[in-house]
Amino acid sequence: MSVMTQFISIAVDGPAASGKGTLARRLAEQFHLFYLDSGSVYRAVAKHILDLGKNPDNPEDAVSAALYVRDHLTTEMIDNPALRNDIVADATSRSCRFPPVRDVITETLRFYANHPPVSKHTKPFQGSILDGRDIGTVVCPNADVKLFLTANAKVRAERRFKELNAKGIETTYETVLQDMQDRDARDSGRETAPLKAAADAIHFDTSTMDVDTAFEKAVEVIRQKLA
């Protein structure tokens, strides 16, 4: 039996509600990898801007919030349920487009990707897995495995609508679809680090493939890499 000793780095990218978070979490568990949701870090930046009553469209406000998040990042900060609402999501896609903000957060993400936290109580991580929009292209261009998830906007809006409904948040499917299309356009259309598949990414279309199948295929690819 082969023993896995090498550090493995995995990048998972895709638009909102493409299933990348679910897939990345399952892979992290399967291979004992440190998982970091980079969208939550960008959301923490936007929340800090909003908490201070500042403007997510102002590059100076956005950069000072990015520096704050870099210097105070904790698990509690990125697990905060208050990051998950549509006001923060909208402010995130505005504030994250400024190149100096991306530089600060990219460095932070890269640091954690290469140096997963160590705890006395658990065995060291085998590597790291990050999900986002530019992990395979910018943050970890040398990742061992790059996955790119897509799904058509209607399927993604339906998923997000159900999630919001389950949380008791009142909205309509049409509003969710419109917000998602606006956010997709900003995330894909910005000049710096837009949502884009790396040339060597493996594509999964989750509008036609369920998450279990995507997970099994990804496990197979990673096992081949580790063999």
Choose the stretch contacting ligand DC; rule: CB under 6 A; options: 25-33, 92-100, 144-152, 196-204. Answer: 92-100
183 contributes a contact to ligand DC by CB under 6 A: yes
133 contributes a contact to ligand DC by CB under 6 A: yes
Q: Burial of 176 by CB count in 10 Å (0-12 exposed, 13-18 middle, 19+ buried)? A: buried
Could you tell me the two tokens for 185?
A: 């356009």
Q: Which is nearer to ligand DC, 8 or 138 (CB)?
A: 138
* Binding string, residues 93-112; x marks residues near ligand DC by CB under 6 A: x--x----------------
Enumerate the H helices of 115-152 as residue ranges. Answer: none
- In whole angstroms, the minimum distance from the beta carbon of 135 to ligand DC comes to 6
Q: Single out the residue of 134, 160, 161, 179 in contact with ligand DC (rule: CB under 6 A).
A: 134
Check: CB of residue 202 under 8 Å from CB of residue 14.
Answer: no
- In whole angstroms, the minimum distance from the beta carbon of 5 to ligand DC comes to 29
187 contributes a contact to ligand DC by CB under 6 A: yes
116 contributes a contact to ligand DC by CB under 6 A: no
Choose the stretch contacting ligand DC; rule: CB under 6 A; options: 25-33, 127-135, 146-154, 157-165. Answer: 127-135
CA dist 44 and 88 (Å) reads 9
In a 3-state reduction of DSSP, which class is residue 104? helix
Give the number of residues in contact with ligand DC, rule: CB under 6 A. Answer: 15
- In whole angstroms, the minimum distance from the beta carbon of 188 to ligand DC comes to 10
Q: Single out the residue of 8, 10, 11, 16 in contact with ligand DC (rule: CB under 6 A).
A: 16
Burial 118-154 (b: 16+ CB within 10 A, else e): eeeeeeebbbbbbbbbbbbbbbbeebbbbbbbbbebe
DSSP single-letter state for residue 137: I
Could you tell me the two tokens for 164?
A: 């919001």
Residue 78: CB atoms within 10 A of its CB come to 18
146 contributes a contact to ligand DC by CB under 6 A: no
Binding site for ligand DC (CB under 6 A): 16, 38-39, 42-43, 89, 92-93, 96, 132-135, 183, 187
